[in-house]
């Protein structure tokens, strides 16, 4: 069996209010997230790089925000601190501040977005 280059291929962050979530993630990530309608579902792609692992904000049937279950860690760049610093001003809440993982695995933080999802950030610095 061939190994995959990434354990993750695609992820979706469910939202109730697409415009509110879009504004939150655009502020935190520092880049636009244009909406795209796909039938009755609205999606906002978090990356436009074809070689990157992809993910999207999703408003549609079965997309229910949650603080339990699988948790996604977004790429915090060289240092997740600037992104994390924008969370509260964008309407979210910091659940775990920037924390050293140890063993040279970098740093992580966790926030609750405007929709009630628990989402992580990871960076090496």
Asked, for residue 4, whether it belongs to a domain, the answer is no
Using the Cα atoms of residue 78, residue 122, residue 111 and residue 54 in order, give the sign of their dihedral.
positive
Candidates 70, 73, 41; CA nearest to 57 is 41
Write out the residue range of the structural domain in which residue 59 sits.
10-123
Asked, for residue 3, whether it belongs to a domain, the answer is no
Average confidence (pLDDT) over 11-21: 97
Asked, for residue 109, whether it belongs to a domain, the answer is yes
Q: What is the pTM of this model?
A: 0.90
Asked, for residue 86, whether it belongs to a domain, the answer is yes
Q: How far apart are CA 45 and CA 22, in angstroms?
A: 10
Domain with 102 in it: what CATH number? 3.10.180.10
Q: What is the pLDDT of residues 40-86, one digit of tens each?
A: 999 999 987 777 788 999 999 999 999 998 899 999 999 999 999 99
Number of domains in the chain: 1
């Amino acid at each position: 069996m061939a190994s995959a280059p990434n354990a993750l291929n695609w992820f979706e962050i469910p939202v109730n209010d697409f415009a509110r979530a879009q504004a939150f993630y655009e502020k935190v990530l520092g880049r636009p997230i244009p909406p795209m309608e796909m039938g009755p579902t609205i999606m906002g792609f978090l990356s436009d790089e074809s070689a990157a692992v992809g993910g999207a904000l999703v408003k549609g049937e079965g997309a229910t925000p949650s603080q339990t279950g699988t948790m996604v860690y977004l790429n915090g760049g060289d240092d997740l601190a600037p992104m994390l610093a924008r969370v509260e001003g964008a309407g979210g809440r910091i659940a775990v501040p920037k924390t050293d993982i140890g063993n040279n695995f970098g740093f992580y933080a966790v926030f609750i977005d405007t929709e009630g999802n628990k989402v992580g950030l990871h960076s090496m610095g």
